Amino acid sequence: MSQDVLSFEEALERFDPVLGFEVHVELNTKTKMFDAAPNTFGDEPNTNVTPVSLGLPGVLPVVNGKAVESAIKLGLALNCSIAQKCHFARKNYFYPDTPKNFQTSQFDEPIAFDGHLDLELEDGTEFRVEIERAHMEEDAGKLTHMGGDAGRIQNAQYSLVDYNRAGVPLIEIVTKPIVGAGERAPELARAYVAAIREIVKNLGISDARMERGNVRCDANVSLMPKGATQFGTRSETKNVNSLRAVERTVRYEIQRHAAVLAAGVKVTQETRFWHEDTRSTTAGRPKSDADDYRYFPEPDLVPVVTTADWIEELRASLPEPPAERRKRLKADWGYTDEEFRDVVNAGVLDEIEQTIAAGASAAVARKWWMGEIARLAKQREVEIADLPVTPAHVVELNGLIDGGKINDKLAKKVLGFVVEGEGTPAEIVESRGLAVVSDDGALTAAVDDAMAQMPDVVEKIKGGKVQAVGALIGPVMKATRGQADAGRVRQIILGKLGVQG
Amino acid sequence: MSAINREQVGHLAELARIEMSDEELARVAGELDLIVESVASVSQAAGDDVPATSHPLPLHNVFREDVVGETLTQEEALSNAPDSQDGKFRVPAILDGE
């Protein structure tokens, strides 16, 4: 089979891509889906397990009610219908990460179905993705492949299994085929997964950390000749676990499929794996008998029945959807498109909202969070949100400036000390003696020195060139180590020279 | 025509990782066919107004509070494992020359 790829442009000239996504979301419930073992990441292997997690003989699962509520909330956030009655099913297959030899999942009756999600691409283009279903299931254990190349399964001599993750609640969200994305397909793929991540985080049902596998994406791609309506054969790429990888996978698969089809060869329906190192996919196994999962209703679990009251109670508890919230905040704050996008990308929406709520103007909030605080974060190579600076600090800092206690330059210094954990801005100004000097005695002496050193400037000011006063303020600031109240210095100079400001 | 043939049993045996001889396949196919036919007679008794039922118990929404309970220790978890290493279950290579 050809390993070549066509250029993305040529692929798009000849073919229309059709996408589909299966996104798995790990819930952040305290316990697993069907047993009371803790749902915690990074613990000692095989300690967050019960006989149920290990699939020992004779055990009985019991459904985690909180996980069911989370699934309903997610279904509602995705504009889905919620099943009045649904049940769990066994998906049978042998793999060492699944100790029971079946995964407890849902088959013909998902808890949520027929929804949609409206996405906004970076340039503002809107795109609707139809949601086929969202169903409840459980995660598998974690495998470590030993003796092969770089931990890969190929050529491994044996594997080690940790069942801490086995049984962690998952919701799998499946889209309907997405047509008409054209050249925006890779971007759309990224935007879709980003939106899902944001929604589950906003709902508080998942930690949504992709690097920990809380949100995982399988990307389906197929191509059909331009103008055709019959879908082509698809590939399903797994292991696509960052937003960047989602975008790259879709782009790569479009280029690969195009090369295969252009050579007159049929695309093989198969599972593929994304490799970040080579930025390409490789074939896994072809779809075959191994996909004969023999689903049947889980006899050990009774049906889940929802009532209109229950659903409406959960609907009423949903937070404002992130996309709507952004639109509202942007209008309220009056930021430009670019300013607002920068704020979103910096991840400080909450901080700015709280700063404004605590009394600062939108402009002041943006100035500090996107200015000095962003700079301090970058300098320390951390996220802004991870700095110990709070909205209350920013409001306090701004109050000190407005009250004439400090100037902008000192405020930046103060922020540095806030980040060092020295206390609140007011405490730091006090303890470090950073307040501006507006004591006329001290300032007058410095002004006299400056005037004595620059008689030519003094003459200019006397002659009516008031803006030349800046040349005298500089040395005064220097003499007071930046702590002089510039406005007061100006008043003193002009007063001494008898000039009107 | 029988509901279950030998090829189907062979396929199922493969999926279930059960090694069966030709003689066993033939015998089991006959036995399973009889079972499936017997169970199928239920659908003659049930009219169109009777929905398919997977659970005979009049129960639903049996939920557990999201509260952590007792867990096994690592030693207990691994006590039935044929092989283990570094606190994990050790299993044979998953891909054998595929």
**List of chain A residues whose C-beta atoms are within 8 Å of the C-beta of residue B73:** 47
Closest-approach residue (CA) in chain A for B73: A47
The Cα of B27 is separated from the nearest Cα of chain A by a number of Å equal to: 22
Question: What is the CB neighbour count within 10 angstroms for residue A376?
Answer: 19
So what's the pLDDT on residue A462?
A: 85
Cα Rg for chain A, rounded, in angstroms?
31
Q: Are strands A215-225 and A235-240 parallel, antiparallel or unpaired?
A: antiparallel
Residue type, position A318, single letter: L
So what's the pLDDT on residue A73?
A: 98
Interface test with B, best of A91, A160, A271 (most B CBs within 10 A): A160
Are B60 and A302 in contact, with CB atoms under 8 Å apart? yes
The whole-angstrom separation of Cα A289 and Cα A35 is 31
Residues in CB range of B14: below 8 A, 6 or more apart: A289
Cα Rg for chain B, rounded, in angstroms?
22
Question: Per the CB < 8 Å rule, is A156 touching B66?
Answer: no
So what's the pLDDT on residue A473?
A: 87
Closest among A441, A415, A442 to A426, alpha carbons compared: A415
So what's the pLDDT on residue A437?
A: 73
The Cα of B38 is separated from the nearest Cα of chain A by a number of Å equal to: 19
**Residue B87 zone, left/alpha/beta (φ > 0; ψ -120 to 50; rest):** left
| Strand (E) or helix (H) holding B54 | none
- CB neighbour class for A472 (10 Å; exposed up to 12, middle 13-18, buried from 19): buried
- Asked whether the CA dihedral A258, A260, A265, A269 is positive or negative, the reply is negative
| 3 state SS for A398-439 | HHHHHCCCCCHHHHHHHHHHHHCCCCCHHHHHHHHCCCCECC
Residues A417, A422, A424: CA angle, nearest 5 degrees: 85
- Which tens digits make up the pLDDT trace of B12-38? 898 888 999 999 999 999 999 999 989
So what's the pLDDT on residue A290?
A: 53
Out of A51, A64, A92, whose CB is closest to B66?
A64
Closest among A293, A298, A290 to A92, alpha carbons compared: A293
Per domain, the residue ranges of chain A are: 8-315, 322-420, 440-497
Closest-approach residue (CA) in chain A for B11: A289
Closest-approach residue (CA) in chain A for B92: A158
Question: Per the CB < 8 Å rule, is A62 touching B63?
Answer: yes
Residues in CB range of A489: below 8 A, 6 or more apart: A443, A446, A447, A472, A473, A476, A477
Are A399 and A364 in contact, with CB atoms under 8 Å apart? no
Out of A46, A153, A303, whose CB is closest to B77?
A46
3-state DSSP: chain B helix, strand, coil percent, rounded to 5?
Answer: 40, 10, 50
The whole-angstrom separation of Cα A404 and Cα A274 is 58
The Cα of A311 is separated from the nearest Cα of chain B by a number of Å equal to: 14
Closest among A296, A179, A285 to A230, alpha carbons compared: A179
Out of A49, A87, A304, whose CB is closest to B72?
A49
Question: Per the CB < 8 Å rule, is B89 touching A163?
Answer: yes
So what's the pLDDT on residue A148?
A: 76
Out of A31, A46, A87, whose CB is closest to B68?
A31
The whole-angstrom separation of Cα A233 and Cα A17 is 11
Closest among A100, A117, A97, A111 to A67, alpha carbons compared: A111
The whole-angstrom separation of Cα A46 and Cα A286 is 32
| Strand (E) or helix (H) holding B68 | none
**List of chain A residues whose C-beta atoms are within 8 Å of the C-beta of residue B74:** 44-47
**List of chain B residues whose C-beta atoms are within 8 Å of the C-beta of residue A140:** none
Are B66 and A33 in contact, with CB atoms under 8 Å apart? no
So what's the pLDDT on residue A263?
A: 93
**List of chain B residues whose C-beta atoms are within 8 Å of the C-beta of residue A67:** 66
Closest among B65, B77, B63 to A53, alpha carbons compared: B77
Per domain, the residue ranges of chain B are: 1-45
Residues in CB range of A65: below 8 A, 6 or more apart: B61, B63, B64, B65, B66
The whole-angstrom separation of Cα B70 and Cα B63 is 18
Question: Per the CB < 8 Å rule, is B93 touching A144?
Answer: no
Question: Per the CB < 8 Å rule, is B66 touching A31?
Answer: yes
So what's the pLDDT on residue A309?
A: 97
Tell which CATH architecture fits domain B1-45: Orthogonal Bundle (1.10)
The whole-angstrom separation of Cα A495 and Cα A73 is 68
The Cα of A30 is separated from the nearest Cα of chain B by a number of Å equal to: 6
Answer CATH for A440-497 from 3.30.1240, 1.20.20, 3.30.70, 1.10.10: 1.10.10
The whole-angstrom separation of Cα A416 and Cα A428 is 10
So what's the pLDDT on residue A288?
A: 56
**Residue ranges for chain A with pLDDT beneath 70:** 1-3, 285-291, 438, 501
Q: In the A/B pair of chains, how many CB contacts fall below 8 A?
A: 136
Q: What is the mean pLDDT of residues B49-73?
A: 90
Residues in CB range of A239: below 8 A, 6 or more apart: A273, A274
Greatest extent of chain A over all pairs of C-alpha atoms, in Å: 100
- Which tens digits make up the pLDDT trace of A157-168? 999 999 999 999
Dihedral of the alpha carbons of B57, B61, B64, B66, in degrees to the nearest 10: 160
So what's the pLDDT on residue A464?
A: 82
